[in-house]
Structure 1
Amino acid sequence: MIEIIEGFPENVVGILAKGEVTRKDYLEVVIPAIEKSLKRNAKLRLYYELGSQFTGIDFGAEWEDFKLGIEHLSRWERMAVVTDVAWIRHLVGAFRFLMPGELRVFTAAQISEARKWIVAL
């Protein structure tokens, strides 16, 4: 399940993942939020928090995430991923070179730092 985190500036989409993240979550929540932000902003920042209740992501969600990233490749300015899930941290690190903008991975203990970084000029 994915929820939008409110309170960020309009050029930042905040996402909180809980439980199992599915393709439906991407189609109904993530993609509409990103498309809405891209209509108003030339560049986009993404704050993606995978909390303690996160249990995994299905292949359909992974595929939608990949397509979304490629489709808007030149418009990603900055992304913060907050997680203590080791395989997510390693996966993000391994594919960091594909991200044209800045990408940082934070631990759950660094949530405050991650939120400050994603909105910083």
Structure 2
Amino acid sequence: MLQYINNLPDDVLGIHAIGEITKQDMETVLLPRLDELAKRQGEIKYLLVLETDVSNFTLAAWWKDLVAGIKHFTEWKRIAVVSDQKGVEWFTDAFTHFIPGTAKGFSLSELDEATKWISANN
């Protein structure tokens, strides 16, 4: 399930992932807000709190995620992924070399730091 994270600046999209993540979650929660933010701001600052294993994303959900990433490729400004899965943190840090913006991984205990980092205006 995907849920919005409230109490973030208007230029940040925050999503909390728990349990199984499906194509429907992507289509009804993530993608509409992602498209709206990109249209309104011209750039995307995205905070993902991943409290589920990446294997809990269905194949269709991964596909939707990939398509959205490509669609908005030039608009990514910052991506913060918060997870206790070390591979996810490592991948997020490495991903910064493949997007126009910056990506950074954080552990769940660093959620406050991730929120400050993604909310920064620089």
After TM superposition, the score normalised by the length of structure 2 is 0.89
After TM superposition, the structure 1 stretch with the greater mean CA deviation from structure 2, 37-46 or 93-102, is: 93-102
1:45-94 CA-partner distances (Å, limit 9, x unpaired)? 0000012xx14211111111111011011111000000002343344345
**Whole-angstrom CA distance in 2 between matches of 1:118 and 1:64:** 23
Distance apart, 1:9 and its partner CA = 1.5
Structure 1 stretches of 5 or more lacking a match? none
Q: Any idea what SS the aligned residue of 1:79 has?
A: strand
**Aligned Cα RMSD in Å?**
1.4
1:26 aligns with 2:19: no
Q: Any idea what SS the aligned residue of 1:97 has?
A: coil
Distance apart, 1:107 and its partner CA = 0.2
Q: How does 1:21-100 map to 2 (within 5 A)?
A: 21-51=21-51, 54-55=52-53, 56-93=56-93, 95-100=95-100
Query: What letter is aligned with 1:60?
Result: A
Query: What letter is aligned with 2:50?
Result: L
Moved over 6 A (4+): none
Q: Is the 8 A contact 2:93 2:103 kept in 1?
A: no
Distance apart, 1:100 and its partner CA = 1.7
Distance apart, 1:115 and its partner CA = 0.3
Query: What letter is aligned with 1:31?
Result: L
Q: Any idea what SS the aligned residue of 1:19 has?
A: coil
Query: What letter is aligned with 2:98?
Result: L
1:119 aligns with 2:119: yes
Q: Any idea what SS the aligned residue of 1:21 has?
A: coil
**Whole-angstrom CA distance in 1 between matches of 2:30 and 2:67:** 12
Q: Any idea what SS the aligned residue of 1:6 has?
A: coil
Query: What letter is aligned with 2:86?
Result: A
Structure (1 or 2) with the greater strand fraction: 1
Structure 2 stretches of 5 or more lacking a match? none
